[in-house]
Amino acid sequence: MTQEYDAIVIGAGVSGLYTLYKLRELGLSARVFEAGTNIGGTWYWNRYPGARFDSESYSYQYSFSQALIDEWEWSEHFSGQPEVERYLHFVADKFDLKRDIECNARVATVIYDEANKQWEIETHNGLRARARYVICATGLLSAHQFPEYEGVEDFTGLSLHSARWPKEPVDFRGKRVGIIGTGPTGVQIIQSIAPECGELTVFQRTANWCTPLRNRPITVEEQRKLKQQAREIFALCKRTWAGFIHEPDPRAAMDVPKEQRLARYQELYERGGFALWLGNYSDSFMSQEAADEVADFLANKIRERVTDPAVAEKLIPKHTFGTKRCPGEKNYYEAFNRDNVRLIDLREAPITKITGSGIETANGLHELDVIIYATGFHSVTGELLRMDIRGQNGRSLQEHWSDGPRTNLGVQFSGFPNLWAIMGPHNPAVFCNITRCAETNVEWIIDCIRYMREHGFETMTTTVEAEDAWTRRCYESAKGMLINDMQDSWFFGSTNPKNVRGRFLLFAGGVPLYRQIFADVAARGYEGFELR
Ligand code: N01
């Protein structure tokens, strides 16, 4: 039987939960379809050891309800996955959201019925539903990726992907564990399990510029202040380019005397989180000279912390500082001083295949009991393209995006009326503290629906012209920034299937500008969108 609702939401993570809340506020009937057996999205799937915030907990929480802010207490400055998952359940229970969420229901098809101006979805387990509005709250980093090595299926030991981690704890004691991937996920896993494993072999293709997270418990006094300052914290996040609490010094780095610059790097290194990445100087994302100086600063820290100089050199990245997200670390570098941890540099000896008993590189076979894949995601477009979404004239999203994603404002695609993506491509959310950006995007989409209903419009679709213009603007937004020269990152889909790599997937103009553009477009009666 096909159920009918006003709106269908795909995904019950941070943005899906808030969407449901806002749809109800609008008085609409809505159903959320969630692939996981429970809610939480990213915080449901990524339950690997060491998974935690890289945003300060109190900057990541929802801002829409004062009662929620008052009632919930974070225990750490950067809380771990179990606490974040508990928080999302707390939110869902507080607002009684779960009764409208269908878990274990991965959406397979999303088909537009032109005659009735409705969407029909079907899940993998055969549930069907129809609605006028569809909101994809499927996340940016949801479609996990295994590497394309021969033999991945052949390994007879335990294979784990970071984004499909089992709910029961994995016992690494006495085991020979290999991990592929040294992005933010790999770093969190390595530093957490190194003391426990019998042997840990790290297969590193690209070292990353890690900065100390400096996590610590929130004291009673801090808790009190943080509650008082909650609104100021959100206001600060609204002002900053990436929606975090870190504000750069407004001066250009090289206008500041060298001694002062180095003192600032040290201060930001001590402060932790993304302070050194996002709170540096105003031109940190543009000036090669400034980025190189921070890189030298960090390289020296690595040399100080890693006892074997040859290992230290391998852990020092070769790419420009700041062009990828910086993993937040605690004792990551010290892990490589342990007798049970070995670093394999895949640039020297690439992986040739996975075998029944381990990982084979150009230098020979590494026999293992466990292989951990921390190899990332089909980023940004993956989860949307994994569904069969068909808009007007039966045209699929795959066809529409055959030459890279095309969007208007990152939220709509031409030929797909009344379908919105909260964290689609061409969004600043990728750089962003996700909840800050999710709230903005959800509120804008809900306002679209409210506007349509108040003005008697049945459908809203971006025009092709506005879509082309925004897509071009996103490519332009990265020009002049160092990230534009770093195509080997998931910002350009480097871990995506080969046919969908090499396009800049984000909007790099910053969160405040994006919010302003949203406001301007709405104020001009949704200019660039066709309302019928
Ligand atoms: O994924 P990644 P991630 N052979 O794509 C390697 C967020 N996040 O899951 O760089 C060998 O960054 C790949 O190597 P290379 C955060 O936004 C947040 O770590 O392609 N290696 C790289 O080392 C982050 O940016 C938190 O050479 C292969 C790694 O796998 C985003 O998620 C925590 C390979 C993939 O790194 C993604 O992070 C964690 C191959 N064939 C993540 N293929 C928080 O703290 C890939 N790799 C909130």
Q: Is the CATH number of domain 2-39+97-143+378-457 1.20.1540.10? A: no
Distance 213 CA to ligand 1 centre (A): 17
Is the pLDDT assigned to residue 487 strictly greater than 90?
Answer: no
Query: Ligand 1 atom 37: the closest Cα is on which residue?
Result: 376
The predicted structure's pLDDT at residue 494:
85
Nearest CA to ligand 1 atom 7: 184
Instruction: Please say if the pLDDT value at position 126 is more than 80.
Output: yes
Mean pLDDT of 448-476: 97
Range from 114-123, 256-265, 495-504, 519-528 carrying the lowest mean pLDDT: 495-504
CA distance linking residue 326 with residue 205, whole number of Å? 16
Element (H, E) at 186: helix 184-193
Atom of ligand 1 nearest to the CA of 147: 41
* Mean pLDDT, rounded, for 136-152: 96
For the Cβ of 495 lying below 6 angstroms from any atom of ligand 1, the answer is yes
pLDDT given at position 465: 98
pLDDT band per the 50, 70, 90 thresholds, residue 140: very high
As a whole number, mean pLDDT of residues 277-298 equals 97
Average predicted confidence (pLDDT) for the chain: 97
Measure 151 CA to ligand 1 centroid, in angstroms.
21
Those residues whose C-beta lies under 8 Å from the C-beta of residue 503, and which sit 6 or more positions away, are: 404, 405, 475, 492, 493
Nearest to 80 by CA among 191, 5, 175: 191
| Residue 206, ligand 1, Cβ within 6 A | yes
Q: Does 192 contact ligand 1 (Cβ within 6 A)?
A: no
189 lines ligand 1 (CB under 6 A): no
From residue 493, alpha-carbon distances to 244, 382, 497, 520 in Å are: 23, 10, 8, 30
Beta bridge partners of 402: 404
Quick one: pLDDT at residue 153? Answer: 97
CA 403 to the chain's CA centroid: 23
In this structure, are strands 211-212 and 328-329 parallel, antiparallel, or unpaired? parallel
pLDDT of residue 429: 80
CB 81 within 8 A of CB 73: no
* Mean pLDDT within 72-99: 98
Buried b (16+ CB within 10 A) or exposed e, 119-158: bbbbbeeebebbbbbbbbbbbbbbbbbeeebeeeeebebe
pLDDT score, position 122: 98
Q: Is the CB of 490 under 6 A from ligand 1?
A: yes
Residue 499 reports pLDDT greater than 80: no
Q: Residue 500 has what pLDDT?
A: 75
So where are the chain's domains? 2-39+97-143+378-457
Q: Is 181 in the pocket of ligand 1 (CB under 6 A)?
A: yes
The mean per-residue pLDDT over the stretch 303-311 comes to 98
Task: Write out pLDDT tens, residues 392-444.
Answer: 999 999 999 998 999 999 999 999 999 999 998 999 887 888 999 999 999 99
pLDDT value of position 501: 82
Q: Is 80 in the pocket of ligand 1 (CB under 6 A)?
A: no
Token pair listed for 125: 């387990």
pTM for the full predicted model:
0.97
Evaluated on CA atoms 431, 435, 439, 445, the torsion sign reads positive
Amino acid 487 reads Q
| CA neighbor of 164 nearest in space, from 152, 146, 179 | 146
